[in-house]
Amino acid sequence: MDRNEAVLRELNLYPQWQLRVPVVAQLRVAQAMPVVTQVAEPVSVTPVLVRPPAWPELKQKVHDCTDCNLHATGSPTMFGSGDEAADWLFIAGAPGAEEEKLCLPFAGFAGKLLDNMLSAIKLGRGKNVYLTHLVKCGPPGEREPKSVELAACLPYLQSQIELLNPKLIITLGQTAACALLGVEQPLDTLRGKLHDYRGISLLCTYHPADLLQRPLDKAKAWQDLRLAVQTVASVTV
């Protein structure tokens, strides 16, 4: 038994933690950007500092949102949960059927695996951790979110990030990783290294549901978590 296997067994993360379904990385994040039209004569204006809405107001905006067709499916909105002063922010692509049923991010077997992952680095739900999804309503049939759905929800996520101001963002799965980084690359290319998101360190790793289907990727996820711990420890208050 090698050292990595011994560590994973000790942390109850063995057999080594892989894709629920193939992830389609056809994200068009550019569509989320507003179109800027030029005016005939430039107008001098005083810059205005735009602050994100407070947590209660933002939660209400998400609850009342009709910016894409997902609101018409009857799927409940999933704002997120956890410590609203957390250093750690975990973001997945969209809620699944189990999350919708329980109105809880990361429910079911995938949620239990995430709890084990958090416990392995001495964290837990609500314990310096905030959990959310990029898309706040679950797409029908647990399909991948469409670009228009990602574009509609991205401003809400950006407001959550501004309010939270975490030390580290961890994206779980390819959808969230590609959307936040504005790229179309395989997750294996993006993981294992730090990225920058608006001045905040961002780390990409596997979604727990994917790890349940590809247990051999659990060792890679454990490497990502160790890098995450080092990163947060190095961030000054």
pLDDT 10s digits, 82-108: 999 999 999 999 999 889 888 889 999
As a whole number, mean pLDDT of residues 174-196 equals 96
Q: Domains of the chain by range and CATH? A: 79-237 (3.40.470.10)
Whole-angstrom distance, CA of residue 178 vs CA of residue 171: 9
- Whether the link from the prior residue into 140 is cis, omega within 30° of 0, is no
Contact 172, 190 (CB under 8 A): no
Kindly give the residue spans of alpha helices, DSSP state H, lying in 92-138: 97-102, 108-120
In the structure encoding, which two tokens stand for residue 104, read together? 């809880």
pLDDT 10s digits, 168-179: 999 999 999 999
- Tell me the three-class secondary structure of 9-70, residue by residue: HHCCCCCCCCCCCCCCCCCCHHHHCCCCCCCCCCCCCCCCCCCCCCHHHHHHHHHCCCCCHH
Contact 178, 184 (CB under 8 A): yes
| Confidence tier at 23 by pLDDT (50, 70, 90) | very low
Query: What pLDDT was estimated at residue 29?
Result: 39
Using DSSP, state whether 192 is helix, strand or coil: coil
CA angle 93, 96, 100 (to 5 degrees): 120
Asked whether residue 212 carries a pLDDT value surpassing 70, the answer given is yes
pTM: predicted TM-score of the whole model, two decimal places: 0.80
Query: What pLDDT was estimated at residue 91?
Result: 98
| Confidence tier at 53 by pLDDT (50, 70, 90) | confident
